Structure 1
Amino acid sequence: MMIDTTLGASAASTPKLGASAGSGGDRNADWQTLQKKAVEFEAVYLSEMLKPMFEGLKTDEQFGGGEGEDMWRSMQVQEYGSAIAKSGGVGLAAPVAKALLQAQEAREGSPR
Protein backbone atom coordinates (compact mmCIF):
# COMPACT_ATOMS: atom_id res chain seq x y z
CA MET A 1 0.00 0.00 0.00
CA MET A 2 1.41 3.39 -1.01
CA ILE A 3 1.17 6.26 1.48
CA ASP A 4 0.50 9.73 0.12
CA THR A 5 3.02 12.08 1.71
CA THR A 6 1.53 15.22 0.16
CA LEU A 7 -0.91 15.54 3.06
CA GLY A 8 1.93 15.97 5.54
CA ALA A 9 3.59 18.61 3.39
CA SER A 10 0.27 20.37 2.91
CA ALA A 11 -0.45 20.34 6.65
CA ALA A 12 2.98 21.78 7.42
CA SER A 13 2.34 24.72 5.08
CA THR A 14 -1.22 25.37 6.29
CA PRO A 15 -1.58 28.60 8.27
CA LYS A 16 -2.16 28.11 11.98
CA LEU A 17 -5.43 29.02 13.65
CA GLY A 18 -5.31 32.65 14.70
CA ALA A 19 -2.13 33.27 12.72
CA SER A 20 -3.82 35.42 10.08
CA ALA A 21 -2.95 39.07 9.64
CA GLY A 22 -4.39 41.58 12.08
CA SER A 23 -4.58 41.70 15.83
CA GLY A 24 -5.11 38.16 17.08
CA GLY A 25 -6.35 36.90 13.73
CA ASP A 26 -9.86 35.92 12.78
CA ARG A 27 -10.25 32.70 14.77
CA ASN A 28 -13.85 32.17 13.64
CA ALA A 29 -12.90 32.27 9.95
CA ASP A 30 -9.95 29.96 10.68
CA TRP A 31 -12.23 27.52 12.52
CA GLN A 32 -14.65 27.53 9.58
CA THR A 33 -11.75 26.78 7.24
CA LEU A 34 -10.67 23.91 9.48
CA GLN A 35 -14.21 22.51 9.51
CA LYS A 36 -14.41 22.82 5.71
CA LYS A 37 -11.17 20.86 5.35
CA ALA A 38 -12.51 18.21 7.74
CA VAL A 39 -15.63 17.84 5.56
CA GLU A 40 -13.39 17.53 2.49
CA PHE A 41 -11.43 14.79 4.28
CA GLU A 42 -14.69 12.98 5.07
CA ALA A 43 -15.70 13.27 1.40
CA VAL A 44 -12.44 11.65 0.27
CA TYR A 45 -12.81 8.93 2.90
CA LEU A 46 -16.39 8.19 1.87
CA SER A 47 -15.41 8.10 -1.81
CA GLU A 48 -12.76 5.50 -1.04
CA MET A 49 -15.28 3.44 0.93
CA LEU A 50 -17.81 3.64 -1.93
CA LYS A 51 -15.36 2.56 -4.67
CA PRO A 52 -15.68 -1.20 -4.04
CA MET A 53 -19.46 -0.97 -4.45
CA PHE A 54 -19.05 0.13 -8.06
CA GLU A 55 -16.00 -1.90 -9.14
CA GLY A 56 -17.90 -5.08 -9.96
CA LEU A 57 -20.71 -3.48 -11.95
CA LYS A 58 -21.05 -4.77 -15.49
CA THR A 59 -22.06 -2.37 -18.23
CA ASP A 60 -24.08 -2.97 -21.34
CA GLU A 61 -21.61 -3.22 -24.21
CA GLN A 62 -24.03 -1.60 -26.63
CA PHE A 63 -24.39 1.63 -24.64
CA GLY A 64 -21.38 1.80 -22.37
CA GLY A 65 -18.20 0.32 -21.11
CA GLY A 66 -14.62 1.08 -21.90
CA GLU A 67 -12.17 3.60 -20.51
CA GLY A 68 -14.61 6.50 -20.73
CA GLU A 69 -17.09 4.84 -18.44
CA ASP A 70 -14.38 3.89 -15.95
CA MET A 71 -13.31 7.53 -15.77
CA TRP A 72 -16.89 8.74 -15.46
CA ARG A 73 -17.64 6.21 -12.74
CA SER A 74 -14.60 7.37 -10.76
CA MET A 75 -15.84 10.98 -10.89
CA GLN A 76 -19.35 9.83 -10.00
CA VAL A 77 -18.10 8.04 -6.88
CA GLN A 78 -16.13 11.15 -5.85
CA GLU A 79 -19.26 13.27 -6.18
CA TYR A 80 -21.30 10.75 -4.19
CA GLY A 81 -18.75 10.98 -1.38
CA SER A 82 -18.78 14.77 -1.54
CA ALA A 83 -22.58 14.95 -1.52
CA ILE A 84 -22.84 12.60 1.45
CA ALA A 85 -20.22 14.55 3.42
CA LYS A 86 -21.83 17.93 2.66
CA SER A 87 -25.24 16.69 3.77
CA GLY A 88 -23.99 15.66 7.20
CA GLY A 89 -21.89 12.65 6.33
CA VAL A 90 -21.35 9.81 8.75
CA GLY A 91 -20.08 11.95 11.61
CA LEU A 92 -16.39 11.84 10.72
CA ALA A 93 -15.78 15.55 10.01
CA ALA A 94 -16.43 16.85 13.55
CA PRO A 95 -13.94 14.55 15.33
CA VAL A 96 -11.36 15.17 12.58
CA ALA A 97 -11.72 18.94 12.98
CA LYS A 98 -11.44 18.61 16.76
CA ALA A 99 -8.35 16.39 16.48
CA LEU A 100 -6.70 18.82 14.06
CA LEU A 101 -7.38 21.70 16.43
CA GLN A 102 -6.04 19.76 19.42
CA ALA A 103 -2.90 18.78 17.52
CA GLN A 104 -2.29 22.38 16.53
CA GLU A 105 -2.90 23.64 20.07
CA ALA A 106 -0.50 21.05 21.47
CA ARG A 107 2.13 22.11 18.95
CA GLU A 108 1.60 25.81 19.78
CA GLY A 109 1.13 25.28 23.50
CA SER A 110 -1.89 27.61 23.64
CA PRO A 111 -5.40 26.26 24.34
CA ARG A 112 -8.34 27.69 22.39
Structure 2
Amino acid sequence: MRRSVEEIRRTRVTDIAQRVAKLEWQWAGYIARRTDGRWGLKVLEWRPRTGKRSEGRPPTRWTDDIRRVVGCRWRQAAQDRVLWNSLQNPFFFFFFYLSPAVDVNWLR
Protein backbone atom coordinates (compact mmCIF):
# COMPACT_ATOMS: atom_id res chain seq x y z
CA MET A 1 0.00 0.00 0.00
CA ARG A 2 1.28 3.44 -0.84
CA ARG A 3 2.46 5.61 1.99
CA SER A 4 0.08 8.45 1.11
CA VAL A 5 -2.90 6.12 1.44
CA GLU A 6 -1.66 5.07 4.87
CA GLU A 7 -1.34 8.72 5.90
CA ILE A 8 -4.89 9.47 4.73
CA ARG A 9 -6.23 6.61 6.83
CA ARG A 10 -4.17 7.58 9.86
CA THR A 11 -5.10 11.27 9.81
CA ARG A 12 -8.69 10.69 8.63
CA VAL A 13 -8.38 13.48 6.09
CA THR A 14 -11.26 13.54 3.64
CA ASP A 15 -10.22 13.40 0.01
CA ILE A 16 -11.73 16.37 -1.81
CA ALA A 17 -12.69 14.26 -4.84
CA GLN A 18 -14.55 11.85 -2.58
CA ARG A 19 -16.32 14.74 -0.86
CA VAL A 20 -17.34 16.29 -4.19
CA ALA A 21 -18.68 12.95 -5.46
CA LYS A 22 -20.71 12.46 -2.28
CA LEU A 23 -22.19 15.96 -2.41
CA GLU A 24 -22.98 15.55 -6.13
CA TRP A 25 -24.80 12.28 -5.42
CA GLN A 26 -26.76 13.72 -2.50
CA TRP A 27 -27.71 16.87 -4.40
CA ALA A 28 -28.91 14.86 -7.41
CA GLY A 29 -31.16 12.76 -5.16
CA TYR A 30 -32.45 15.83 -3.36
CA ILE A 31 -33.29 17.67 -6.58
CA ALA A 32 -34.90 14.61 -8.19
CA ARG A 33 -37.22 14.15 -5.19
CA ARG A 34 -38.41 17.77 -5.16
CA THR A 35 -41.96 18.32 -6.30
CA ASP A 36 -42.34 22.08 -5.84
CA GLY A 37 -41.32 23.02 -9.42
CA ARG A 38 -38.35 25.14 -8.42
CA TRP A 39 -35.44 25.84 -10.76
CA GLY A 40 -33.15 22.95 -9.71
CA LEU A 41 -34.98 20.29 -11.68
CA LYS A 42 -35.45 22.64 -14.62
CA VAL A 43 -31.70 23.16 -14.77
CA LEU A 44 -31.15 19.40 -14.83
CA GLU A 45 -33.59 18.98 -17.72
CA TRP A 46 -32.36 21.97 -19.73
CA ARG A 47 -31.29 21.32 -23.32
CA PRO A 48 -29.86 23.85 -25.81
CA ARG A 49 -32.42 25.44 -28.13
CA THR A 50 -30.71 23.97 -31.17
CA GLY A 51 -30.98 20.53 -29.63
CA LYS A 52 -27.27 20.03 -30.21
CA ARG A 53 -24.15 20.44 -28.16
CA SER A 54 -20.93 21.88 -29.56
CA GLU A 55 -18.90 19.92 -32.10
CA GLY A 56 -16.11 17.63 -31.06
CA ARG A 57 -16.22 15.80 -27.79
CA PRO A 58 -18.60 17.79 -25.59
CA PRO A 59 -17.74 18.28 -21.94
CA THR A 60 -19.22 15.67 -19.64
CA ARG A 61 -22.18 16.89 -17.62
CA TRP A 62 -22.29 15.71 -14.02
CA THR A 63 -25.58 13.94 -14.70
CA ASP A 64 -23.80 11.86 -17.36
CA ASP A 65 -21.81 10.11 -14.60
CA ILE A 66 -25.00 9.34 -12.70
CA ARG A 67 -26.69 7.99 -15.84
CA ARG A 68 -23.76 5.65 -16.47
CA VAL A 69 -24.23 4.05 -13.05
CA VAL A 70 -28.00 4.17 -12.55
CA GLY A 71 -29.31 4.45 -16.10
CA CYS A 72 -31.52 6.94 -17.89
CA ARG A 73 -34.24 6.59 -15.23
CA TRP A 74 -32.03 7.80 -12.40
CA ARG A 75 -34.59 10.40 -11.33
CA GLN A 76 -37.14 7.63 -10.73
CA ALA A 77 -34.54 5.65 -8.78
CA ALA A 78 -33.89 8.71 -6.60
CA GLN A 79 -37.53 8.72 -5.46
CA ASP A 80 -36.77 5.62 -3.38
CA ARG A 81 -34.26 6.78 -0.78
CA VAL A 82 -33.24 3.25 0.22
CA LEU A 83 -32.51 2.32 -3.39
CA TRP A 84 -30.75 5.64 -4.02
CA ASN A 85 -28.52 5.23 -0.98
CA SER A 86 -27.68 1.66 -1.97
CA LEU A 87 -26.44 2.93 -5.35
CA GLN A 88 -24.09 5.45 -3.77
CA ASN A 89 -21.16 3.04 -3.36
CA PRO A 90 -21.29 1.80 -6.98
CA PHE A 91 -21.31 5.47 -8.04
CA PHE A 92 -18.22 6.18 -5.92
CA PHE A 93 -16.46 3.16 -7.37
CA PHE A 94 -17.32 4.27 -10.90
CA PHE A 95 -16.36 7.88 -10.17
CA PHE A 96 -12.97 6.94 -8.76
CA TYR A 97 -12.29 4.10 -11.17
CA LEU A 98 -12.29 6.59 -14.04
CA SER A 99 -9.67 8.72 -12.32
CA PRO A 100 -6.24 7.11 -12.74
CA ALA A 101 -4.76 9.26 -9.98
CA VAL A 102 -6.87 7.61 -7.27
CA ASP A 103 -5.98 4.30 -5.64
CA VAL A 104 -9.28 2.39 -5.64
CA ASN A 105 -8.14 0.04 -2.84
CA TRP A 106 -8.49 2.69 -0.15
CA LEU A 107 -12.25 2.93 -0.79
CA ARG A 108 -12.82 -0.32 1.13
- The alignment's TM-score, normalised by the length of structure 1, stands at 0.32
- The alignment's TM-score, normalised by the length of structure 2, stands at 0.33
Structure of larger gyration radius: 1
